[in-house]
A = this chain, B = another copy of it.
Amino acid sequence: MATIKDIANKLGISVSTVSKGLNGASDISEALRQTVLDTAVEIGYTTKKMKKEEHKKLCVFIENMDYETNNQFGYEIILGFKQAAYRDKWDITVLPINPTFQMQEKYDTYMLKNGYRGGFLLGFSLQDNWMSQLNSTTIPTVLFDNYIRKNPNVAYVGTDSFEGIDIAMEHLISLGHKKIAFLNGSPNSMVSEQRMQAYLDSLAAHNLTFNEKLTAYGYYVAESAKYHIPSFLAEGATAILCGNDLIASGAIMECSMHGFRVPEDISVIGFDDLPISAHLDPPLTTIRQNRVELGKCGYFALSGLINHVSISRTMLHAQYIERASTAPAKEHKKTV
**Interface positions of A (Cβ within 8 A of B):** 149-152, 160, 163, 166-167, 290, 293, 296-297, 300, 304, 309-319
Contacts and interface: CB of A to CB of B under 8 A. Distances in A.
Contact of A311 (B151, B309, B314, B319): B314
24 contacts: A149-B163, A150-B167, A150-B317, A151-B317, A152-B317, A152-B319, A160-B313, A163-B312, A293-B309, A293-B310, A296-B304, A296-B309, A297-B309, A310-B317, A310-B319, A311-B314, A311-B316, A311-B317, A312-B315, A312-B316, A312-B317, A313-B313, A314-B314, A314-B315
Closest 3 CB pairs of A and B: A310-B317, A312-B317, A312-B315
A312 B158 CA distance: 10
A304 B309 contact: no
B300 A304 contact: yes
A150 B304 CA distance: 25
A304 to B, nearest CB: 7
Given A149-B163, A150-B167, A163-B149, A313 B314 contact: yes
A106 B191 CA distance: 38
Q: How many copies does the complex hold?
A: 2
A151 B160 CA distance: 12
The A contact surface, by secondary structure, is: mixed
A314 B151 CA distance: 16
A311 B163 CA distance: 12
Contact of A297 (B166, B290, B293, B311): B311
Contacts of A317: 150-152, 310-312
A312 B160 contact: yes
A312 B309 CA distance: 18
Contacts of A316: 309-312
A188 to B, nearest CB: 21
A309 B299 CA distance: 12
Nearest to A159: B312
B311 A315 contact: yes
A190 to B, nearest CB: 15
A104 B192 CA distance: 46
A313 B310 contact: no
Q: Which of A314, A316, A318 has the most CB of B within 10 A?
A: A314
Contacts of A166: 149
A311 B317 CA distance: 6
A319 B310 CA distance: 9
Contacts of A163: 149-150, 312
Contacts of A314: 311, 313-315
Contacts of A149: 163, 166
Q: Which of A151, A296, A309, A319 has the most CB of B within 10 A?
A: A309
A163 B312 CA distance: 10
A313 B163 CA distance: 12
Nearest to A84: B309
Contacts of A160: 312-313
A99 B315 CA distance: 30
Given A149-B166, A297-B311, A310-B317, 20 more contacts: A149-B163, A150-B167, A151-B317, A160-B313, A163-B312, A290-B310, A293-B309, A296-B304, A297-B304, A297-B309, A300-B304, A309-B316, A311-B315, A311-B316, A312-B315, A313-B313, A313-B314, A313-B315, A314-B314, A314-B315
